[in-house]
Amino acid sequence: MTKNIFIASAEPYTGKSVIAFGMINMLLAKTQKVGYFKPIIAQEDPSQKDEHVEAMIDYFSLPVNYEDAYAFTRQEMLHQADNEATGELLNTIISKYKKLEDNYDFTVIEGSDFLGEGIAFEFESNALMAKNLGAPVLIVVSGKGKTASQAFKTAINIYRNFLMRDVQVLGVVANMVNPDEAERIKQALTNQLPAELLIAVIPMESGLQSPTMKEITAALNAEVLFGADLMDNQVDNFVTGAMMLPNFLRHIKDNLLIVTPGDRGDIIIGSLQANLSANYPKIAGIVLTAGSLPDEPMIKLIEGLQTIIPIISVQKGTFETTTAIGAIHSKITIDNRKKIELAIDIFERYVDLKALDDKIITFNYEGITPHMFQYQLVKWAKSQKRHIVLPEGNDDRILKAVEKLIAQDIVEITLLGDPL
């Protein structure tokens, strides 16, 4: 039986957090001693915690200290690569992971997020991490914006790339696929991949992909004017209010965000009334652009309404604002428990939990890497510490070796040499 699993992707925004939440929830039904480790985090500001790691620990009340749940930030990892210190990086990751692993029956390891530069190196790093931690990989690929053929080819190529690096694979999950293509993709993967692999296909779910008004407000650095108590409203679509009101009303859909200048009082009031009307879908919120606000009588009218959807204000123009909104990727954070619960529900609906459990129980990781072998040797040496006397006190090579041994606290050393 394996004691860990490495959730890995090879592209950004695959939704692997859904798999991580689902995995931990499944494992906690069997044992309370579940650990979580994300070797490389995306958060660069040391004064702030990584939102994803924090959500994993807090939601499940995992007995894991935040500082123990990761090893490096992404920039630290890339800096190590620039200085050709990959070996040091791996040794640190192994050491941190092993300290964590000793306290738990099972540890879920989550790979990096592939955001920004260095993606090729990042894939190599994920493969090396999984291999050196002795963890089978559960590959997650994105089907978002891809045809069935493209999603299938992506999954096959990533699987083969892991195999080429001698990484052992437990399964493949195609996430966020077109619901109409889900069964076709699953059948193609089942036909082409080895029978012992877990295969799962998860259709696109708007409840996870759509940002909330809170996320949009943060991304736009906007000021909240009204509706602060409804910032969890989900935004599925957005439209610019640049047309006449009757034509605009024809474009209203569920969970719509309206982007319009603040002087378009007709659009603002029409939107608020449509939200209250039983004949129109619910509106998520309104973004007022270019720093313009409604006139005082209009604000007084809005303040008198019983239900006010979020209205936020930004300084940028309408085009820049809509472009920024379109680029927002929703995250699963601890302050949105509905999304976490939805993620777990989706995992349980589309992943064969019994098959996954069986594969975890029957999986035996084969082999040991030089870095892991070195770690185990050092650990054994520390537990059986000896005193060594070395006569070559003037040899630079001996001195360098002694420095390293002392730093690792492996042995007690006495160097013989002539006094100065």
The answer, yes or no, to whether residue 373 has pLDDT greater than 50, is no
Domain containing residue 67: CATH number: 3.40.50.300
- In the three-class reduction of DSSP (H, G, I as helix; E, B as strand; rest coil), residue 240 is classed as strand
- Over residues 12-22, the pLDDT tens digits come to 899 999 999 99
Count of domains forming the chain? 3
Cα torsion angle, 374, 379, 383, 386, sign: positive
Average pLDDT over residues 199-209: 94
Q: For residues 276 and 252, what is the distance between their CA atoms, to the nearest angstrom? A: 13
The answer, yes or no, to whether residue 119 has pLDDT greater than 70, is no
73, containing H or E segment: strand 72-73
Q: Is the same domain home to 219 and 113?
A: no
Is residue 309 a part of any domain in this protein? yes
- Over residues 347-363, the pLDDT tens digits come to 999 999 999 999 998 88
Q: Is the same domain home to 96 and 155?
A: yes
Q: For residues 18 and 22, what is the distance between their CA atoms, to the nearest angstrom? A: 6
Q: Is the same domain home to 9 and 43?
A: yes
Q: Is the same domain home to 132 and 79?
A: yes
Q: Is the same domain home to 26 and 51?
A: yes
CA atoms within 13 A on the CB side of 250: 4
Is residue 375 a part of any domain in this protein? no
Higher pLDDT, 90 or 312: 312
**Which residues, 6+ apart, have CB-to-CB distance to 50 below 8 Å?**
38, 41, 42, 43, 70
Q: Is the same domain home to 155 and 251?
A: no
- Over residues 127-148, the pLDDT tens digits come to 989 988 989 999 999 999 999 9
Is residue 102 a part of any domain in this protein? yes
Is residue 126 a part of any domain in this protein? yes
- How many degrees, rounded to 5, is the angle at CA 261 between CA 258 and CA 263? 120
- 368 pLDDT band, cuts 50/70/90, is low
Q: Is the same domain home to 200 and 95?
A: yes
Is residue 420 a part of any domain in this protein? no
DSSP string, 96-136: HHHHHHTT-SEEEEE-----SS-HHHHHHHHHHHHHHTT--
Q: Determine the pLDDT at residue 355.
A: 95
Q: Is the same domain home to 25 and 156?
A: yes
Q: Determine the pLDDT at residue 236.
A: 94
Query: Which of 230, 231, 270, 234 is CA-nearest to residue 252?
Result: 270
Would you say 108 and 2 are in contact if contact means Cβ atoms under 8 Å apart? no
For residue 110, give both structure tokens: 């989550």
Is residue 379 a part of any domain in this protein? no
The structure's pTM equals 0.82
Question: What is the extent of the structural domain holding 401?
Answer: 385-415
Amino acid making up residue 369: T
Q: How far apart are the first and last CA of the chain?
A: 58
Q: Is the same domain home to 15 and 148?
A: yes
- In the three-class reduction of DSSP (H, G, I as helix; E, B as strand; rest coil), residue 139 is classed as strand
Q: Is the same domain home to 250 and 340?
A: no
The mean of the pLDDT values for the chain is 87
Q: Is the same domain home to 198 and 244?
A: no
Is residue 376 a part of any domain in this protein? no
